[in-house]
Amino acid sequence: MQRVKNLGYDEDELYDNHDEYEQEDATAYTAEDKENFATLTPVIRAELDEAGVQVSDKDIEDALWHYYWDVGKSVSYLKNSRTPRLQQQSTEKSDKAKAKSKFDEAAERSAEKAVRTTMPPMFAADWFRNVSWTLVPSHVEGDLIPNEPVRPMPKLLGGSSKLAKLAEERRKKAATAAASQSESPAPNGSLSALERLSKPRDAKENEAPGPKVEPKKYPIRKKRDPTPPPREPTPPPPEPEEEKPDLRASPTAFGLALSTSPPCGLHPASMTLKDLLGSEVADDPFQGPSPDDTVLRAQQYSKGTPNKRRQSGVNGLAKKTEALKLNGTAASAPAQPKVRSRGLDVPKLWAEEKSRRKASAAFVVIGHVDHGKSTLMGRLLLDTGAVAQRDVDKYQKQATEMGKSSFALAWVMDTGTEERERGVTVDIAQHHFSTNSVDFTILDAPGHRDFVPNMIGGASMADMAVLVVDANQLESGMKGQTREHVLLAKAVGLKRIVVAVNKLDSTTPDAWSRSQFDGVKGEVLKFLRESGFAEQFVTVVPCSGLSGDNVAKAPKVSGPAAWVANTHPTLLKALEKSVIPDIDGATIRRPLRLQIADVFRGGVTNPVSVSGRISAGNAQTGDSVVVQPSGETATIKALEVNAEPCDYAFAGQICTLHLTDIDPIHLRTGDVVCAASHPVPVVKTFTAKIEALKSLLPQAMDVHLGRLHVAGGIKQLVSTVDSEGEVLKKKPRIVKAGQKAIVKVGVEDGVVVEVGDRVVLRAEGATVGFGVVDGTA
Ligand SMILES: Nc1nc2c(ncn2[C@@H]2O[C@H](COP(=O)(O)OP(=O)(O)OP(=O)(O)O)[C@@H](O)[C@H]2O)c(=O)[nH]1
């Protein structure tokens, strides 16, 4: 199974009952650790003796280890841990419920102290007092004298984990390494033990080369390898490096003063600003562009090169940062090379491979809430090998933990947390599975009425529908959502339906009651006939998604479902039979048109991707496209069909396009990707030939165009027509339920429609009409 939504599961996790992390052995102290203990323990002991605190060497070592050689914190902790534990005594009961570590207790006490500390008031002027400025005459020039900190630096006590400490240590290391590269002062023999230890280990090793010390093993929680990313499509040719001018502003005088180390031999307290900034700045502080000038220049540059800006947005932060490094020669920066088209003749390839290619079909799963749609599809995926038994076992375990064990198979389809928590399908889940003759895409639409727009979106991408009816709930199966779903399936133009009469394993009094199945089948066929479906396009199969009988495999000939084996095809066979390839060469040769069903962001190699069904034309790597209604252009960087990389895709396929040269803000669900040479116009009104399900007047309503739904309404009733399209009455005052009519539809925001597109009109949560666009002028 390949998921369009790029959700992957780490196979190793499937049977992992425990923690995802591993602990490394932390017991062994290295020679260096021991040396650190030997050096620091006396320092701490001296501090503690002064404060009258008695502790063992072991306690000191523990504290040093915990605080990663931070003497200050270790001393604080040890002092605090020896103070009376009043709070602990008073809350002994609650401590039993959730025991605090001694480190946490010490941290709390320390935090309390910190809050109570009274701080002297501090004013901004204090910072600038005595600070010379760039144009101050030398006779009034003062010294920059850093004061003692006006308030103590906040320190973490007890709350800092070794991991955090390690990160801090790494930062220090990097900073010191950078500093030592530019300037490496001679080792000072008078360095205190603390100073020596605060130096990075590498630096120390440089001072006195000796036997290589093994790095200390910390009890680091090591994360498992992440789930391997989905296979990337064929990578595009690497983009040549381009030279970018430097746009970075030099630091301000004040910033420099704050961040610059004192020159060798000068004590910070006696340093003047001139010492810090050098004569050049002091002589002419306004020489060169100001930071504002630099920013303005960068803005002007990016305004003048919109394409470049878009490319940097798509190609990631690194590129964007590079693009901002301008220095005035920006306008001459070379343009980003385009993804090259391979110049394939897709219609020709399509025709050549037609006989060899497996048929492909997408079906939408419809039916009332809880009639077992997701479970049935989970079963189908499991039994066709698209999902592994161990995956289902994992879901079974998780579902049982959440008290929803019967939903394990449904979870194969319902991957969103909300879907799992609520036990209902919220979005359209897409899954793929294959038989020997057909590649199928399942569009699992939400059964709940709150999500009908998603259902319309799913159905509009499908070739056929699978209607799931609970054999025990015929009442609801023929009412409510099922009725609306069936009408919507028809409204979006679906003709073929496979009906799965489900949950036959739980019919009463006998499981697999044949009479019950026959009764349900009769009702459903009648209902579908009345709804406008031709019987030759409807297949009804008995099955049980939960037990798997007659889904992909025929039931056992000896069990209660034996009668099914001889009389009905499995659901899978029925699906295969219903696939009628209806895409012709002319449709493939038309200009590209794909309505975006989903937008994906954030991949490293493919920062922005869209998926949807190609309704006309074809697409290949390197094609230029226009996204309507924004009118933004983009280039197809790579394509996937059935989540497999491929060089091209054509009408009828649901595919993913990885785009470049476009800012993701211009891509929304419901937008249309068109061939750059033939962008579909954006309109605010169009006429449609519709069938009324309720009485219609010129009125406000929701206008659904596939995956897009926008506010709008009927602006004008043009005429009523008969089934042949002949005008019965012009400008009627009302169109009654069951009548057909030509109406003028208006929408608030421009939409992309073409003659022949399907439109569904809904008002107050109900579908009131549907039809086909027949004019956009
Ligand atoms: N006995 C029995 N129970 C089933 C069968 N199929 C599904 N169920 C149960 O019916 C309940 C609903 O199943 P789902 O698959 O979530 O139903 P759904 O139609 O997808 O529901 P929505 O996603 O909310 O539309 C779960 O408890 C399933 O275990 C079946 O064939 N037999």
**Minimum mean pLDDT among 55-69, 266-280, 742-756: which range?**
266-280
Enumerate the H helices of 354-443 as residue ranges. 373-383, 389-401, 410-413, 417-422
Ligand 1 pocket check: which of 406, 409, 411 to mutate, most ligand atoms within 8 Å of Cβ?
A: 406
Higher pLDDT, 336 or 620: 620
Confidence of residue 144 (pLDDT cuts 50, 70, 90): very low
What digits encode the pLDDT tens for the residues 696-739?
Answer: 999 999 999 998 999 999 999 999 999 888 999 999 999 999 99
- Residue nearest to ligand 1 atom 9, measured at CA: 372
What digits encode the pLDDT tens for the residues 64-108?
Answer: 888 878 888 888 888 887 654 444 444 444 444 445 555 555 556
What digits encode the pLDDT tens for the residues 185-224?
Answer: 433 433 333 333 333 333 333 333 444 444 333 333 333 3
What single DSSP character describes residue 670? T
Enumerate the H helices of 531-665 as residue ranges. 562-567, 571-578, 585-589
Over residues 339-355, mean pLDDT: 83
Amino acid 602: pLDDT: 62
- With a 6 Å cutoff on the Cβ, whether 500 touches ligand 1 is no
Residue 425 Cα to ligand 1 middle (Å) = 11
Higher pLDDT, 242 or 357: 357
Q: Beta partners for 633?
A: 626
Could you tell me which CATH class the domain 354-577 is placed in? Answer: alpha beta
Q: Choose among 103, 107, 112, 23: nearest CA to 64.
A: 103
Amino acid 111: pLDDT: 52
What digits encode the pLDDT tens for the residues 593-609?
Answer: 999 988 887 666 777 88
pLDDT of 531 > 60? The answer is yes
Domain coordinates in residue numbering, the chain: 30-87, 354-577, 585-675, 682-776
Alpha-carbon distance of 177 to 174, in angstroms, equals: 5
Could you identify the residue written with the tokens 């419901």? 670
Over residues 537-559, mean pLDDT: 92
pLDDT of 539 > 90? The answer is yes
Confirm whether the ipTM is greater than 0.95. yes
Confidence of residue 663 (pLDDT cuts 50, 70, 90): confident
- Tokens standing for 567? 């009389």
Tell me, yes or no, if the two domains 354-577 and 585-675 fold the same way: no
Amino acid 557: pLDDT: 81
Tell the CATH topology of 682-776.
Elongation Factor Tu (Ef-tu); domain 3 (2.40.30)
Amino acid 47: pLDDT: 85
585-675: which CATH number, 2.60.40.10, 2.40.30.10, 2.40.160.10, 2.60.120.10? Answer: 2.40.30.10
What digits encode the pLDDT tens for the residues 566-590?
Answer: 889 999 999 999 987 767 889 999 9
Instruction: Please state whether the predicted TM-score (pTM) of the whole model is above 0.95.
Output: no
Per the CB < 8 A criterion, the answer to whether 161 and 106 are in contact is no
Percent helix, strand, coil in the chain, to 5, is 35, 20, 40
- Residue nearest to ligand 1 atom 13, measured at CA: 372
Confidence of residue 230 (pLDDT cuts 50, 70, 90): very low
Residue 369 Cα to ligand 1 middle (Å) = 8
pLDDT of 361 > 70? The answer is yes
Residue 445 Cα to ligand 1 middle (Å) = 14
- With a 6 Å cutoff on the Cβ, whether 396 touches ligand 1 is no
Confidence of residue 658 (pLDDT cuts 50, 70, 90): very high
Q: Parallel, antiparallel, or unpaired for β 648-650 and 496-502?
A: unpaired
Q: Is 612 helix (H, G, I), strand (E, B) or coil?
A: strand
Count Cα neighbours of 383 within 13 Å in the Cβ-side half-sphere.
23
Ligand 1 pocket check: which of 369, 373, 374, 375 to mutate, most ligand atoms within 8 Å of Cβ?
A: 375
The percent of residues in the chain predicted with pLDDT above 70, rounded, is 59
- With a 6 Å cutoff on the Cβ, whether 372 touches ligand 1 is yes
Q: Give me the chain's average pLDDT, please.
A: 71
pLDDT of 5 > 70? The answer is no
Q: Is residue 429 within a helix (H) or strand (E), and if so which, with residue range?
A: strand 429-434
Amino acid 430: pLDDT: 78
Confidence of residue 516 (pLDDT cuts 50, 70, 90): very high
pLDDT of 320 > 50? The answer is no
Amino acid 415: pLDDT: 59
Contact partners, residue 491, CB within 8 Å, separation at least 6: 456, 758, 760, 767, 770, 771
pLDDT of 41 > 60? The answer is yes
Alpha-carbon distance of 308 to 320, in angstroms, equals: 9
Confidence of residue 445 (pLDDT cuts 50, 70, 90): low
Ligand 1 pocket check: which of 368, 370, 469 to mutate, most ligand atoms within 8 Å of Cβ?
A: 370
Amino acid 204: pLDDT: 39
Amino acid 168: pLDDT: 59
Residue 378 CA to its chain's centroid (Å):
23
- With a 6 Å cutoff on the Cβ, whether 742 touches ligand 1 is no
Amino acid 405: pLDDT: 66
pLDDT of 331 > 60? The answer is no
Q: Is residue 348 within a helix (H) or strand (E), and if so which, with residue range?
A: helix 346-353
**Minimum mean pLDDT among 280-294, 310-324, 566-580, 711-725: which range?**
310-324
